[in-house]
Amino acid sequence: MKNKKIGWIGLGKMGQPMSGQLLKAGYPVYVYGRSEQDIQAMAAKGAVVSQSVLDLVNIVDILFLMVTDDHAIEDIFKSEAGVLSAGLTGKTIVNMSTVSPAINREMAELCKEKGAFYLDAPVSGSIKQAEEAKLVIMAGGEEAVYESIKPLFGILGGSSSLIGEIGAGNLAKLSINTLLAIQAQGLAEVVNFAEHHNISAEKMMSIINNGALGSVFMKLKGELIINENYNPAFALKLLTKDLRLAKAEGLDSPLGNTVYKTFQQAEAEFGNEDLIAVKKYL
């Protein structure tokens, strides 16, 4: 496997530490991104910078993508010098972005027509988990393709599993992120209620984290609330996007509808801040 050339498109907050794990493991990694700063950061770590998507895809054996939304995927695949313009026979494309199941199915079919293999494999976890290689990876696609990429998933995350056919990985991710939104709003409401009654966020979080309701999520987001630090580990606008995708897939439940409404309304003012900035909106 170490003789395989790996390509990575998307060098944002998650893409950099994730592709960095593959570099640390000794793989040759070719990268493409829009930000010169991000490109130079990866070059300093030993990545080879490609000048276009087409150049990168023609060189590599396995291509990973970690981008923001369906629009970015459309552009990367279908542009004049995009993925589908390259020679794809025998290559494997792993889309780790949180996007719609529908666009994964479409791109998988287009790649199959050109002789390539495809997985959708979004992750649960944020920057800290990416830096520590403790992401949870949920894949959709053929079992043989998943098994061929599984060793690389073992470098990127703490666990991975094949959920089902193409699109299933993203359906699982949208489910997880709906729970994420529910927990974030619940935490925000409880701390606001406590503060209204002169119980500090610090004292409230100590109670939560030392009891049955404590979790990694509660600890991390509680610390942000206490420190009034809303720099985005996962931006509120991205969680809103994921809720929008979940709604498009049929999410229609009391809590799901509630958090979708809340995050939609919070997005205009707090979209670029961390998702727990929903506390400030509420």
In the numeric block, which tokens belong to residue 3? 């003789």
DSSP string, 150-178: HHHHHHHEEEEEEEESTTHHHHHHHHHHH
**Which residue matches tokens 């109670």?**
207
| CA dihedral angle for residue 21, residue 22, residue 27, residue 30, rounded to 10 degrees | -110
User: Which amino acid, one-letter code, is at 129?
Assistant: Q
Assess contact for 230 and 277: CB atoms under 8 A: yes
User: Which amino acid, one-letter code, is at 45?
Assistant: K
Interhelix angle 254-270/236-248, rounded to 10 degrees, is: 140
Of 13, 78, 173, 241, which residue is the catalytic one?
173
Nearest to 215 by CA among 224, 205, 200: 205
DSSP 7: E
Assess contact for 111 and 81: CB atoms under 8 A: no
Helix or strand holding residue 127 (H, E): helix 127-131
Is 128 a catalytic site residue?
Answer: no
Beta bridge partners of 244: none
Residues noted as catalytic: 173
